[in-house]
Amino acid sequence: MKKLCLTILACAVLLGGCLGAEDKFAREVTKEAEAVKLAKETVRGGYELITVTELKALMDKNTDMTIIDTMPYEASYQKGHIPGALQFLFPIKPMETWDTNETAGKSQEDFLRMLGPDKDKLLVIYCGFVKCGRSDNGAAWAKKLGYTNVQRLPGGIFAWRGAEYPVESGS
C-alpha cells in the first residue's frame, strides 16, 4: 500500500510538472504577443518607454515632469493614480484622428493646455497595464503635437501598485 501511494504521488508530481511546463510555454506565447505589440506601438508612436522604478527615481529627485493618467476619471483615476498625475481620457483602440467622442469631449487644445508650452519637458503617460492602448494613444498624440521628451509607462497603474509605490485617490 505504501509503495502504491508513493507511485501515485510520484506520478502526480511528474504530471503536475509536465502540465506546468505546458502552461509555461503557453504563457510565453501570450507574453511574446504583448511584447511585440508594445514594441510596434512604441516604434509607430516615436516615444520612449520608462519603468515604474525609473519613474519613481525621477519623482524622488523632484524631476520637473508632467504625468498623465489616460484611464477613465471615475472608474479609475479617482480610485487611485500615481501621485501628481493629471487625467486625460484616451480610447483603448488606436486613435488615428482626434475624436472628442473618444476623449470625453476634450479637444486637442485641451490636451495641449494640460501638457504645457514647454515642448521639451518630460511627459510620462500611462494607463492600466501593458495590454491597455490608452497610454499609446496619449504618448503618440503628444509626439504628433510636437513634444520631444515623451515616455510611456507600459505597466501603468497595475505595475506601480505591484511595486508597492504610493497612490493618490480623488481629484
User: Where residue 147 sits, what CATH number does that domain have?
Assistant: 3.40.250.10
Specify whether 21 is located in the same domain as 103.
no
Q: What are the per-10-residue average pLDDT scores of the chain (171 residues)?
A: 40 45 84 93 96 98 98 94 97 94 94 98 96 95 98 97 95 76
Specify whether 31 is located in the same domain as 60.
no
Q: Give the C-alpha separation, 171 to 85, whole Å.
A: 10
| CB-based contacts of 141, cutoff 8 Å, min separation 6 | 90, 95, 98, 108, 111
Its sign, for the CA torsion 143, 54, 130, 81, is negative
In-domain check, residue 171: no
What is the secondary structure of 48-72 as a DSSP string? EE--HHHHHHHHHTT--EEEEE-S-
pLDDT of residue 14: 39
> If DSSP codes are grouped into helix, strand and coil, which group holds residue 168?
strand
In-domain check, residue 168: no
pLDDT of residue 13: 40
Domain of 144, in residue numbers: 47-162
